[in-house]
């Protein structure tokens, strides 16, 4: 099985830090790619152009963490999908729960972004996931399926299941819950779309998560900024592929 490993650096990264980190993970990333997998780094917008040029021969794909619905215009602070593409990105993360929370992104708005990103030729990672309250009230599956129903299109490359309560908290969903949710997601999407898990993925749990039935890869936040942690995650992905 081929794995998709995505690093979401969020609002972290300066030029020196980024280059040092990428140099140290280039070899294990190349191993994953040579075995048929894909490694995508999603730095802040400010770094994409420089890193895509500097590491152009490396195994990495590059992605943005968001894009605007419009192709251009008077939208202070925003970035269009075509601009991401222009500076070397091939991918974009859309619908991340931090954007849903911090920028009041709605399912309808995310659906529009999915179309805009596709129009610009970007590959899309669409994030879905329930809050703790939604899980505790027994609505996790219904919420995730409603997020998919609103924004998913068959051309979306990957759906990332990221339970909101597992992001940055060190709490990981139970393997049985990951398996069950991935089965539900799989039932609602095209066979060509990969299903990723995200939420406190780290060296200590990557192997078990990546070995879980229905998990085609991982979307990694905090641990993707630490050389040893991310190396171990890449290694776990490689061992699933050979
Ligand atoms: P953490 O890996 O830091 O929990 O973040 C997950 C995430 O939000 C990836 O998009």
pLDDT digits (tens, 9 = 90+) for 122-175: 999 999 999 999 999 999 999 999 999 999 999 999 999 999 999 999 888 899
Give yes or no for residue 23 having a pLDDT over 90: yes
Q: How far is the CA of 170 from the centre of ligand 1 (A)?
A: 10
pTM of the shown model: 0.97
Residue 74 Cα, ligand 1 centroid: separation in angstroms?
A: 31
State how far Cα 147 lies from the chain centre: 16
* Ligand 1 atom closest to 201 (CA): 2
List Cα–Cα distances, 9 to 149, 153, 223, in angstroms.
27, 25, 9
- What integer pLDDT is reported at residue 136 of this predicted model? 93
Query: Which positions are annotated as active-site residues?
Result: 96, 162
User: Which tens digits make up the pLDDT trace of 167-203?
Assistant: 999 888 899 999 999 999 999 999 999 999 999 999 9
E-strand spans in the chain? 4-8, 38-42, 60-64, 91-94, 123-128, 158-161, 194-198, 217-220
Tell me, in angstroms, the distance from the centre of ligand 1 to residue 97's CA: 10
What does the pLDDT look like over 64-104, one tens digit per residue? 999 999 999 999 999 999 999 999 999 999 999 999 999 99
List the structure tokens of 175.
């393997």
> CA 18, CA 140: separation in Å to the nearest integer?
36
Task: Give residue 71's pLDDT.
Answer: 95
Q: Identify which of 161, 162, 232 to mutate to test ligand 1's pocket (most ligand atoms within 8 A of the CB).
A: 162
Task: Give the residue whose CA is nearest to atom 9 of ligand 1.
Answer: 221
Residue of 5, 40, 102, 221 to mutate, ligand 1, most atoms within 8 A of C-beta: 221
Query: Among the atoms of ligand 1, which is closest to the Cα of residue 219?
Result: 9
Mean pLDDT of 11-25: 97
| Distance of CA 198 from the midpoint of ligand 1 (Å) | 6
Protein residues whose CB sits closer than 6 Å to any atom of ligand 1: 8, 96, 162, 167-168, 198-201, 219-223
φ, ψ for residue 111, nearest 5 deg: -60, -40
Average pLDDT of every residue of the chain: 97
pLDDT cut 90: percent of the chain above it: 95
Residue ID of nearest Cα to ligand 1 atom 7: 221
pLDDT beyond 90 at 57: no
pLDDT the model gives residue 111 = 98
pLDDT reported for residue 1: 78
What tokens does 46 get? 């400010």
Distance CA 162, CA 197 (A): 6
Say if residue 112's pLDDT is above 90. yes
Q: How confident is the model at residue 28 (pLDDT cuts 50, 70, 90)?
A: very high
170 neighbors 164 (Cβ within 8 angstroms) = no
| Centre of ligand 1 from the C-alpha of residue 100, in Å | 14
Asked if 214 and 187 count as a contact pair (C-beta separation under 8 A), the reply is: no
Mean pLDDT of 47-56: 95
168: left (phi over 0), alpha (psi -120 to 50) or beta: left
Tokens of 197: 């898990």
Which pLDDT score, from 0 to 100, does residue 242 have?
Answer: 78
């Amino acid at each position: 099985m081929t794995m998709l490993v995505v690093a979401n650096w969020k609002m972290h990264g300066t030029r020196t830090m980024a280059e040092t980190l990428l140099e140290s993970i280039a070899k294990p990333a190349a191993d994953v790619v040579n075995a048929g997998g894909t490694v995508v780094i999603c730095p802040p917008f400010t770094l994409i152009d420089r890193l895509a040029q500097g590491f152009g021969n490396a195994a990495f794909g590059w992605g943005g963490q968001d894009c605007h619905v419009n192709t251009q215009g008077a939208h202070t602070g925003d970035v269009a999908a075509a601009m991401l593409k222009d500076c070397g990105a091939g991918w974009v993360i859309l619908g991340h729960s931090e954007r849903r929370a911090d920028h009041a992104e709605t399912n309808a708005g995310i659906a529009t972004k999915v179309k805009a990103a596709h129009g610009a030729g970007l590959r899309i990672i669409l994030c879905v996931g329930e809050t703790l309250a939604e899980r505790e009230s027994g609505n996790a599956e219904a919420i995730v399926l409603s997020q998919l129903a609103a924004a998913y299109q068959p051309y979306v490359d990957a759906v990332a299941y990221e339970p909101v309560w597992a992001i940055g908290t060190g709490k990981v969903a139970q393997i049985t819950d990951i398996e069950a949710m991935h089965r539900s997601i799989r039932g609602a999407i095209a066979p060509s779309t990969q299903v990723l898990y995200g939420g406190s993925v780290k060296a200590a749990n990557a192997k078990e998560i990546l070995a879980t039935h229905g998990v085609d890869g991982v979307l990694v936040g905090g641990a993707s900024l630490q050389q040893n942690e991310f190396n171990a995650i890449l290694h776990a992905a490689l061992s699933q592929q050979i």
